[in-house]
Amino acid sequence: NAGVTQTPKFQVLKTGQSMTLQCAQDMNHNSMYWYRQDPGMGLRLIYYSASEGTTDKGEVPNGYNVSRLNKREFSLRLESAAPSQTSVYFCASSKGGGMRQPQHFGDGTRLSIL
């Protein structure tokens, strides 16, 4: 079972470049999430999509945009990358609106902004 698949796994960007991180899940989950993980800060929610067609901001949305392309796919876009966005990005999904269901995570995208 593939579960949650993220692409690319690694990426290096220059300041000001744009990039889209891709996420797809094959578990027929309704809800999807984007987190970033930083040393000393733990995981923080960037954006989430409770269901197809809806998106909402998390704790740290500034500098990012998202698109819930269909039920399977949820992408994260950096329009003008900044060094502060160097991080490991995780996509997750859960079966329902999220309250009672566990979240399942992908393996992450390691992003460096120079």
Partner 1 sequence: KQEVTQIPAALSVPEGENLVLNCSFTDSAIYNLQWFRQDPGKGLTSLLLIQSSQREQTSGRLNASLDKSSGRSTLYIAASQPGDSATYLCAVRRSLAGSGNTGKLIFGQGTTLQVKP
Using CA atoms, how far apart are residues 28 and 10, in angstroms rounded to an integer?
Answer: 26
User: Do 15 and 114 touch, CB atoms closer than 8 A?
Assistant: yes
Tell me, rounded to whole angstroms, the distance of Cα 99 from its chain centroid.
19
Q: Binder to partner 1 among 22, 45, 63, 86 (CB under 8 A)? A: 45
- Applying CB under 8 A, what is the total number of residues that bind partner 1? 28
For partner 1, the closer CB: 46 or 81: 46
Which of 52, 58, 72, 86: binder of partner 1 (CB under 8 A)? Answer: 58
- The distance of closest approach from Cβ of residue 42 to partner 1 in the complex, given in angstroms and rounded to an integer, is 5
DSSP string computed for 62-88: TTEEEEE-SSSBEEEEESS--GGG-EE
For 33, counting Cβ atoms within 10 Å of its Cβ (0-12 exposed, 13-18 middle, 19+ buried), the class is buried
And the tokens for 46?
A: 């960037």
Give yes or no for residue 104 binding partner 1 (CB under 8 A).
yes
- 85 binding partner 1? (CB under 8 A): no
The single residue among 25, 31, 85, 87 that binds partner 1, judged by CB under 8 A, is 31
> Of the candidates 34, 48, 64, 74, which one interacts with partner 1 according to CB under 8 A?
48
User: Which residues contact partner 1 (rule: CB under 8 A)?
Assistant: 4, 31, 33, 40-45, 48, 50, 56, 58-59, 90, 92, 94, 97-100, 102-108
